[in-house]
Amino acid sequence: MKKILILNGAPRKNGSTAALIKAFTEGAESVGNEVREAYIQGMDIRNCLGCDYCMKTHQGCIQKDDEGMNKIYEDLTWCDVVVFASPVHFGYMTAQIKAVIDRMWAWFNLPGNFDVKKQTVLISTARGDDYSMMLDQYGIYTRFMGWEDLGHILGADQGEEARKLGASIR
C-alpha cells in the first residue's frame, strides 16, 4: 500500500482536472492505497520570498500563511507518491501549484528531507493538445528532486487511463 498526496492546482473545483483526480483516486484506493488531496485554490498560500531563511536555518519557511502549507508539509513527509494535478495555463502549471512547488524548498531544507526520494505522477488537462511545456516543467521538477516519474495523464477524456494509473501504484 502506498500513501499518495494529490496537489490539486486547478482553479476550478469541479472542472476537468477534478474529474481526472476522482478517477485516479478511485483506481488508487481500489488496490488499497491511501489518498489525500490538497485543493490549493482554497488555501491562502503566499509565494516564496527567496529570502533563504529555510536554507540558513533548516527550520522551515519564515512565512506564516494559513495552515494549508503546513498541512502540505506534513503530507509531504507522510506520502510515498506526489501527484501534481494542474490544467495547462499559458503552457505551464497554474500559479496555485507553482507557489506550492516553490514553497516546497523549505521542506527540502529540513534536516534529512533533501535525500528523501518519492514517486510522482502528473495529471493535466488543456483546451488544446499541446502539453510539451507542461511535460518539460514536470520533468525539470522530478529530475531536480531526484524523484521517480510513474507516468502522466494528459487530457480531460482520459478518465479510464487515470483510473488504471491509480490502480497500478502499489
State mean pLDDT over 21-26: 98
Task: Flag whether pLDDT at 157 surpasses 90.
Answer: yes
**pLDDT per position as a tens digit, 57-102:** 999 999 988 889 999 999 999 999 999 999 999 999 999 999 999 9
Residue 114, pLDDT > 90, answer no
**What is residue 21's predicted lDDT score, i.e. its pLDDT?**
98
User: Rg of the chain over CA atoms, in angstroms?
Assistant: 15
Cβ neighbourhood burial of 20 (10 Å; 0-12, 13-18, 19+): buried
Q: Is the pLDDT of residue 9 over 90?
A: yes
pLDDT at 65: 87
| Lookup: cell for 1 | 500500500
Query: What burial class does residue 36 get, using C-beta atoms within 10 Å of its C-beta: 0-12 exposed, 13-18 middle, 19+ buried?
Result: middle
In this structure, CATH architecture of domain 3-168: 3-Layer(aba) Sandwich (3.40)
> Kind and range of the H or E element at 26?
helix 16-30
Q: What is the mean pLDDT of the chain?
A: 96
Cβ count within 10 A of residue 117: 9
- Region 25-34: mean pLDDT is 98
